[in-house]
Amino acid sequence: MLALQNLFGKKDVFYDLLEASATQARKSVQSLHSLLSAPVGDGATLEAFAASRREDKKITEQIDEALCRTFVTELEREDISALATALYKIPKTVEKIAERVMIARQHLEGADFSRQITLMDSAADCVVTMITELRSKLHLERVKVLNDKLQKIEGDADKLVLECLRDLYSQTSRGAITIIVMRDLYDLMEKVVDRCRDAGKVVAHIVLKNS
């Protein structure tokens, strides 16, 4: 039995690693929520974001290593690799937002990102749910509901960034630097939702192919 396990690999290892990666992605979004809610000068740092991204990179490397060592997998190797890559891009993008917030906080006085945070939270939660349920052979109908939800969140994020840019450009009292900083943040926050949608698409592709 041990010889067979060594040959075919432990069937749960990739599910465990993908779930851990999705959890790190959601954790990074939660850390961003805390950062944006904190007052200027509270001593906030980028360590939480760097740690989350480092941990997710470590998980991605473990997935790559396991793919090299495992002879047979329940999921196709290219699908595992594509999903791992899509998940890693989420905390990486969130860290970029945090970096810009930290270096330009003096230009963000009174800025309200609550709607963007709500959409990012919802998208990250949806991704975690999809990947957690992937282990239990997610049914096509169920993944379609979750994927449709992600698509709606992504559509709402697109509309929101346009609305925010319209308001931003109409506020003549804001300085040019503030407008540039805010525009950059709006675009990156929308991209986080896009990254979540991309991960959801990979899960939907996996389930459709195996249904």
pLDDT tens per residue, the chain (211 residues)? 333 333 334 456 889 999 999 999 999 999 998 888 876 555 566 777 778 778 888 898 898 888 888 766 788 889 999 999 999 999 999 999 999 998 988 888 888 999 999 999 999 999 999 998 888 876 788 889 999 999 999 999 999 999 999 999 888 777 888 999 999 999 999 999 999 999 999 999 988 887 7
Q: How far is CA 191 from the centre of its chain?
A: 9
What are the DSSP calls for 33-91, one per residue?
A: HHHHHSPTTS---SHHHHHHHHHHHHHHHHHHHHHHH-S--SS-HHHHHHHHHHHHHHH
Q: What domains, with CATH codes, occur in the chain?
A: 10-204 (1.20.58.220)
**What predicted TM-score, i.e. pTM, was given to this entire model?**
0.86
Q: Which residue has the tokens 């993008």?
A: 93
Do 85 and 138 contact (CB within 8 A), yes or no?
no
